[in-house]
Each structure stands twice: as structure tokens, then as C-alpha cells.
Amino acid sequence: MGKSTKIWLISASALVLVGILVFTAALASVDFDITKLSNTEYVTNEYSLTEDFESIFIEADTADIIFKLSKNGENRVVCRENKKTPHTVKTENGSLTIDPSDNREWYDHINIFSFGSTDITLYLTETEYENISVEVSTGDVHIGYISAGELDIETSTGDIGIEDIWAGNIDIKVSTGDVTLTDISCDSLKTEGDTGDIMLKTVVAEAKFDIKRSTGDVKLEGCDAEELRIETDTGDVVGTLLSEKIFITESDTGRIDVPETTNGGRCEITTDTGDIKIDIPSA
């Protein structure tokens, strides 16, 4: 080992030691409460909605999205949010629009430690809407007890939970996250995902299921559609259907166990690595 290499290693070790000492001193200054090192200030803002709207469009970065029925007869939106990145909430031309805004200076982006969560809660008096569209980067989405002609949800990293709704067409896209659908009636359901399980419980479509997953299981409990197409790369497809189907199945390395029914609509299930097991209790 050369002399210059030794000097470099000694210098690097000294810098690491100085960093540890500075970090320890910073922790000591806040009584070792690491959350106090964050320069992010969170606030709760409430927005009253006085105009009627038939459609809802939401775009958010890290906030969870939650739909609830209003108990006081008023439409409102409550946001727990970064004080310097409040959301813009407005009703215009029959639509409620919620978008993120960013009023931070360049130095506000330098924040090694950031603690706390953000969320957007919609308290709604009506239960029927023409369109609902939600797009979130990092955050969960929870929607229930409403109906929509079109329901579109897209997340990059976050779980999606939908329950007790009627919708015309449902389109769900998720990169990394689980999807749980419960007690849903719709015309058609289309969903794509990279990593994450999808659970359907009592979901019935008049026309079609089109489900695609790269890595994740597909679980069906008491579900049905006129036609089903389910495709996974790595994951099992298991569950129960309500009516007979003509099964077309394929798995490269997994086991296949489906009823030998010859009536009903087409049910095509394909996996690369995973088992396929479907039951029809009434058959």
C-alpha cells in the first residue's frame, strides 16, 4: 500500500469520525428526538365547497387519499399537508379539482430527515358522480360508498382499497402496492400492476375482468364477469367464481386445478410461475 493511499484512508476515516461526532451533537441538542431534526412543518387546512360538482379529479405526490360521507350536510376537503406545499382545491365547470403546489425555496428541498404523513380527506354529501380520477405518486387510496360512471386510479407506490361502490368502467394502475376490492358492481374492470397482490371479494362485472400482474397473487372470492382474462408472471391465481365458465389455462411451472365446465363465458388464466386453482361452488 503506497504512502498516498494510506494518507487518503486516514483522511477519509477522520471525515467519517467528524460526521459521527457532528450528528451525535445534533441529536444531543434536541434531546435525541430525531424527529426534531426535520425542517418540514405540517399543517391542517380545510376547504369548504359551496359549488356543485359531478366529477372529481385529484393529483397528489405523497398524500393518502380518503373518501368519506359527510355527516354535516356540507362538502369539504381536509388536507394534512406540508405548509410550503399546500394543495390547490377548487370547483369549476362542474368539477372538483385538487392539485399539488410548491412554494418552497431551493434550500427547503435540502431535508435529510422528514417525518410525518400527509393526507387528503374528502367529505362528500352526494354519492353519485360522473367521473372520479385519482393519481398519486406515493400514497394510499381509500374510496367507498359511492358510484361513478368512470373510476380511474393510478399510484406509483401505495395500496388501493375500494369498497361498496357501483361504477361503469373501473381502471386501476399500480406500480408497487396491493389492491383490495370489496362489494363492487361494475360494467368492466381493468387493472394492471408490477408488484403487489390483488384481492377481489364479491366483485361482479356485467362484461369483463382484465387483470394483469407482473409479481403478485390474484385472489377471487365470490366474483364473476361475463368474460375473464387474468395474467401474471410470478404469482398464484386462486379463488371462487359464481357461475360456470369455459376455462383456458396455462402455467409454465405451477399446478392447474379448475372445474371441467363446458358452459358459460370465456375464462382465460395464464401464469409463468404460479398455481391456478378456481372453484365454482354452485357447479
pLDDT at 8: 60
Going from the C-alpha of 227 to that of each of 223, 233, 248, 256, the distances in angstroms are 12, 21, 11, 19
Domain edge (last residue) among 134, 163, 187: 187
Inside any domain, residue 192: no
Say whether both 127 and 27 belong to one domain: no
Residue 67 lies in a domain: yes
Q: How many domains does one find in the chain?
A: 3
Boundary residue ending a domain (136, 152, 187): 187
Q: Are residues 140 and 3 in the same domain?
A: no
Please answer whether residues 114 and 38 qualify as being in contact, where contact means their C-beta atoms are separated by less than 8 angstroms.
yes
pLDDT of residue 37: 43
177 and 203 assigned to the same domain: no
Which residue in 140, 189, 181, 187 sits closest to 163, CA to CA? 181
Q: Which three cell numbers stand for residue 29?
A: 441538542
pLDDT digits (tens), the chain, 283 positions: 555 666 665 565 655 555 455 444 444 444 444 444 445 678 999 999 999 999 999 999 889 999 999 999 899 999 998 887 888 999 999 999 999 875 545 444 444 444 457 899 999 999 999 999 999 998 999 999 999 999 999 999 999 999 999 999 999 999 999 999 999 999 999 999 999 999 999 999 999 999 999 999 999 999 999 999 999 999 999 999 999 999 999 999 999 999 999 899 999 999 999 999 999 998 6
CA separation for the pair 160, 142 (Å, rounded): 6
Same structural domain for residues 238 and 283? yes
Strands 245-251, 218-234: parallel, antiparallel or unpaired by DSSP? unpaired
Which residue spans within the chain are E strands per DSSP? 42-49, 55-60, 64-69, 75-82, 87-92, 95-100, 119-124, 128-138, 141-144, 147-157, 160-176, 179-195, 198-215, 218-234, 237-241, 245-251, 256-257, 265-273, 276-279
Same-domain status, 48 and 89:
yes
61 plus 86 within the same structural domain: yes
| Predicted local confidence at residue 115, as pLDDT | 47
Residue 109, pLDDT score? 45
What is the model's pLDDT at position 108?
Answer: 47
Query: Is 128 in the same domain as 110?
Result: yes
User: What is the distance between the alpha carbons of residues 276 and 255, in angstroms, rounded to a whole number?
Assistant: 6
Q: Does residue 203 share a domain with residue 149?
A: no
Let me know if residue 52 belongs to a domain.
yes
How many whole angstroms separate alpha carbon 34 and alpha carbon 28?
A: 9
Instruction: Give the position of cell 487518503.
Output: 8
Same domain, 111 and 163: yes
Same domain, 70 and 125: yes
Q: In terms of pTM, does the model score above 0.85?
A: no
Contact 215, 198 (CB under 8 A): no
Residue 201 lies in a domain: yes
Q: Which domain holds residue 114?
A: 38-187
What pLDDT score does 283 carry? Answer: 66
- Whether residue 12 lies inside any domain: the answer is yes
269: left (phi over 0), alpha (psi -120 to 50) or beta: beta
Are residues 91 and 136 part of one domain? Answer: yes
Residue 43 lies in a domain: yes
Question: Could you tell me if 61 and 16 lie in one domain?
Answer: no
Domain's final residue, options 132, 165, 187: 187
